[in-house]
Amino acid sequence: MHKRLCYGEDTVRSVGFVGLGTMGGRIARRLLSVGHEVYGFNRTPEKARPLVGEGLRLCGTPRAVAERSEVVFSMVTGDEALRSVGEGPDGILAGLRPGQVWVDMTTAGPEVSRELARRASERGGCLLDAPVSGSVTTLEQGQLSIMVGGDRAAFERVEPLLRQIGRRVTHVGGNGDALLLKIAINLSLPVQMLAFSEGVLLAERSGIRREVAVRAMLDSVIASPMLGYRGPFVLELPEEAWFDVSMMQKDVLLALETGRKLDVPMPATALANEMLTATRGMGFGRRDFAAIFHALAAMAGERRPEPDDGRAVVEPEARARGQGDP
């Protein structure tokens, strides 16, 4: 049985989803679980097999997804990936019909999104940028925040659908505005993580166990929601990154570039960017960006973790001064 949602005079039954990665795959699962017919595409189709088992109808191209669905979503890595699924004879644009809404949840650059929005409107369709704030767990709890930029009427048509994905849904302005806000929010993530790592390392070097320091700091006023779930990763990195170092750096670079264009200096973001480069250089590119802690620890003279090309778990044993190996 399909739940039906307002979509103009009609209801939404079929939904398309292009990009079934860590976030997109889970959102598609959520849409399936509330009864939608979901058509999907992933560049690497094998990764979508579990979703096919749950009812997702896999298509061969993003265009086919757009053609089969009433509302089409996309959520891929960044600018390049968005162009790759959006443009060309097999892209979403090629399958977009007049009146159809394309909701892009990628954290991409505002300019690319605005350009694709112009091209969508030339076809009579409408692109909304709808980046999300939150993590894998926030998403699974239905607590994602979704900011939306673009045509207000199109937003109102898809709002009930967006509320099935995340609890907080806000229309913030025209095309690209939601992405600008998303970038402005995300620059704080590695900055916070770096400050937290400095504090943990300082406490540990003075003889306090890392676990004790982490717990005390997360019980203090500095515990933002992000640090609340990611702070413990300095004790053990998750096998699968919730948000990896390379992806984090992609957002930081978008922020730095936007700051340069708008004459806004961002010294804290620039420093965090250098630490992300160091973290990648140590082989942690595909690990959760909490690995920034390990780059800092190495700078503090701790045994350097083995480079792992982002696969094996690397946990350097931190030593309190005078308590461990020289």
Q: Which residues of 14-50 are buried (b: 16+ CB within 10 A; e: fewer)?
A: bbbbbbbbbbbbbbbbbbbeeebbbbbbbbeeeebee
State the nearest-atom distance from the C-beta of 246 to ligand NAP, in Å.
Answer: 9
CA distance 206 to 208: 6
Q: What share of the chain is helix, strand, coil (3-state, %, to 5)?
A: 50, 15, 35
Site for ligand NAP (CB under 6 A): which residue of 64, 132, 272, 292? Answer: 132
Residue 78 in contact with ligand NAP, rule: CB under 6 A: yes
Residue 107 in contact with ligand NAP, rule: CB under 6 A: yes
C-alpha distance from residue 249 to each of 1, 4, 114, 269 (Å): 42, 39, 22, 10
Name the CA radius of gyration of the chain, rounded: 21
Residue 226 in contact with ligand NAP, rule: CB under 6 A: no
Residue 297 in contact with ligand NAP, rule: CB under 6 A: no
Site for ligand NAP (CB under 6 A): which residue of 12, 32, 71, 81? Answer: 81
Residue 135 in contact with ligand NAP, rule: CB under 6 A: yes
Dihedral angle computed from the Cα positions of residues 219, 222, 228 and 231, in that order, rounded to the nearest 10 degrees? -100
State the nearest-atom distance from the C-beta of 81 to ligand NAP, in Å.
Answer: 3
Residue 76 in contact with ligand NAP, rule: CB under 6 A: yes
144 vs 201, beta carbon nearer ligand NAP: 144
Nearest to 75 by CA among 117, 30, 26: 26
State the nearest-atom distance from the C-beta of 64 to ligand NAP, in Å.
Answer: 14
Site for ligand NAP (CB under 6 A): which residue of 14, 77, 170, 224? Answer: 77
Spatial contact of 150 and 175, defined as CB atoms under 8 Å apart:
yes
State the nearest-atom distance from the C-beta of 324 to ligand NAP, in Å.
Answer: 34
Residue found under tokens 């505002």: 110
For binding to ligand NAP (CB under 6 A), which residues are involved? 19-24, 42-44, 47, 75-78, 80-81, 84-85, 106-107, 132, 135-136, 242-243, 247, 251
